[in-house]
Structure 1
Amino acid sequence: MAVLGFARKRDLAYFVHFCMSIPIMILMDFQALYPPSLVPAFMGDLKAYYINTYNDQFFVNTPLFFKTFMWTEILYQAPVTLWAIPALRRNDPKVPVVLLPFATLVFVTTLTCVVEMWSWSVPVEQKIELSKLYGPYLALPAYMGIDMCLRLQDTIKRASTSNMRKLQ
């Protein structure tokens, strides 16, 4: 099994991000989709704390588009995240093919949320605090998308070079 470490620091950063994402998805994000009767008290308390602290309107009065984004998170992002954790550890060659569309989706959905958030009628200070939370979910997928695209281009270039040598 390949070792994640300094030599593969980008993959290590993605690995840590994915490991942290699963509990956040389950405890916070998916609450918009859970029937209220199935939400344990501690999760309700966590959501209440988050709302009281950040006044995130997506959790106060969840708009339909945000619920749709949550469905993409539960049906696509969560399975990819669960796949990516061991795939990154073993340096699976499919990582760029799987993580490029993942990164694109996460970037676009997060960008949509950030743009919507800045249109809210809340103090600018609250928007800045929320931007500090949403910012990494915008920056990391942007970086990941570029990284995966470059990895795929490198793979294609190596395959093309190899094929050209075989034809000569």
Structure 2
Amino acid sequence: MATSIFSRKRDLTYLIYFCIAVPMAFIVDLQPLYPQSLIPGWMQSITDFYIDTYNDLFFIGTPPPFFEFFMYTEMLIQVPVMIWGIGGLLRDSKMVPLVLLPFACLVFISTATCMYEMVHWDVPLKQRLNLMALYGPYTALPGVIGVDMFLRLKGMIESSTGGSKVGGKKNQ
């Protein structure tokens, strides 16, 4: 029987993150990919509020090509993995580390790339800092998830091999 999600604090944090991030992906992040005629008014209002509040240049005008690529990776990889991850975390699936490690690497690298781009925008410092504060947790948490999943996989490998030596050297 699976250990309760409430006793696995890190997994509970990841579950909450996924439950928030999946709807936000569809409502805000992926909206530039939708045909304008399919965007409901309430959804456009949320994006308009976001743009008015943060003046995020990725959502104003034509974004750089890498940002469009990142939106496609969010749609085709990140969202499906997060949806699977919700169930996987609830079930305490042994596959969670194997699936979430590459996911975390992708999200960390793509969000960090966006933050690096923001540093070079010709906008007031306060605007950049506000955007960094908004994007920061979406960089930090995947970084934590990545390290956690790596360590879980490392532990699984070490326990399955009994810390055996390969090629005369202990696995590291």
User: TM (normalized to structure 1)?
Assistant: 0.93
Gaps of 5+ in 2: 166-172
Q: Pairwise mapping of residues 4-153 of structure 1 onto structure 2 (< 5 A)? A: 4-5=5-6, 7-61=7-61, 62-153=63-154
2:163 and 2:65 map into 1 onto residues whose CA distance is: 49
Q: CA deviation at 1:2?
A: 3.2
One-letter code aligned to 1:9: K
Identity over the aligned pairs, expressed in percent?
47
Amino acid at match of 1:159: S
**Which residue does the alignment assign to 2:160?**
159
Q: Which has the higher contact order (CA 8 A, sep 6+)?
A: 1
Letter in 2 for 1:42: W
- Number of aligned positions between the proteins: 163
From the two aligned structures, give the one with the greater helix fraction: 1
Offset of residue 43 of structure 1: 1.2
SS in 1 for 2:17: helix
Q: Residue type matched to 1:15 in 2?
A: L
Q: C-alpha distance in 2, partners of 1:71/1:101? A: 16
**Pairwise CA distance, 1:67:** 1.1
User: RMSD over aligned Cα, in angstroms?
Assistant: 1.4
TM-score by length of 2: 0.91
Structure 1 stretches lacking a partner, 5+ long: none
Q: Runs ≥4 in structure 1, deviation > 6 angstroms?
A: none
**In 2, Cα distance between equivalents of 1:43 and 1:70:** 17
The one-letter amino acid paired with 1:4 is: I
